[in-house]
Amino acid sequence: MPSSPAPTAEAVALDGRPLGKRGAATRRRLLDATARLLESDGVRDLRVVDIAREVGTSPATFYQYFRDVEEAVLALTAEVGEELAPVDQLLNRPWTGPSGLATAREMVDAFIRYWDAHRAVLRTRNLAAQEGDPRFRQVRNNSLRPITDHLATTVTESQAEGRVSAEISPMAAAAALVALLERMAAFHGDLESLGITRDDVVETTARIVHQTVTGAAA
């Protein structure tokens, strides 16, 4: 995932001053290096000296663009969060009827691929969110909200048609399914070492999602 082009991230220095061409390029290289090291070493061993060394620059340069490592990671998570949009698109396909299960399958598959592409950044984002950092919470919510809302709406529709129990809170169910998706995406590697294939993961997760959303029995 190196050298991804900044999607909407506007190059801005610490004091808000807009960045020139060279500065913007340096900032990007620092972000890419951060992503790379996050992947290989994990958050806890992410040192700014290493990021600087990776880019072939002085640590002081890093502090010209980011207050600390956390802020660089935050910028990264904001970028990555936007790349989830295509997955949300898949939810527009029909959920009811015979192709409903296929919709679920494709969505689950896309979601897992998304996680595979950005594993390190996403788990760091979720850790920081769990630790209570409001900025990371916000970024996470912004990224997942379209999917959550989409699922909640579909659950509500199913309830109106009596296929899903009224005891279920659509928002809670949607949050649960998103939680499930994230977790399966995060841990599917683990499961594979336990003899569960990736296809099993996709198929099973898709069926749980489909059943919960539409109420359709096995």
User: Which residues would be at the binding site for its own copies (CB under 8 A)?
Assistant: 42-44, 123, 127, 129-132, 137, 163-165, 167-169, 171-173, 175-176, 179-180, 182-184, 186-187, 190-191, 194-196, 200-201, 203-205, 207-208, 211-212, 215, 217-218
CB of 160 to its own copies, least distance (A): 13
- Alpha-carbon Rg for the chain, nearest whole angstrom, is 20
In the range 120-179, which residues lie near DNA by CB under 7 A?
none
Q: What is the largest CA-CA distance in the chain?
A: 63
Q: Please, what is the minimum distance in Å from the beta carbon of residue 27 to DNA?
A: 8
The verdict on 69 binding DNA (CB under 7 A) reads: yes
Distances (CA, A) of 101 to 1, 40, 54, 131, 204: 31, 36, 45, 35, 11
User: Binds 212, which of DNA, its own copies, none (CB < 5 to 8 A, cut-off by type)?
Assistant: its own copies
Using CB under 7 A as the binding rule, the residues of this chain from 47 to 66 that contact DNA are 47-49, 56-61, 63-64
Q: Are 89 and 136 in contact (CB under 8 A)?
A: no
**8 A C-beta contact, residue 24 and residue 94:** no
- For tokens 């050298």, what's the residue? 3
Of 48 and 201, CB closest to DNA? 48
Measuring CA to CA, how many Å separate 60 from each of 65, 69, 129? 10, 13, 28
User: For residues 74 and 164, which CB has a smaller minimum distance to DNA in the complex?
Assistant: 74
- Amino acid, single-letter form, for residue 54: E
Q: How far is the CB of 72 from DNA (least distance, A)?
A: 10
Of 8-47, binders to DNA (CB under 7 A) are 13, 17, 19-24, 26, 47
DSSP-derived letter for residue 168 is S
* Cα–Cα distance, 91 to 125 (Å, whole number): 24
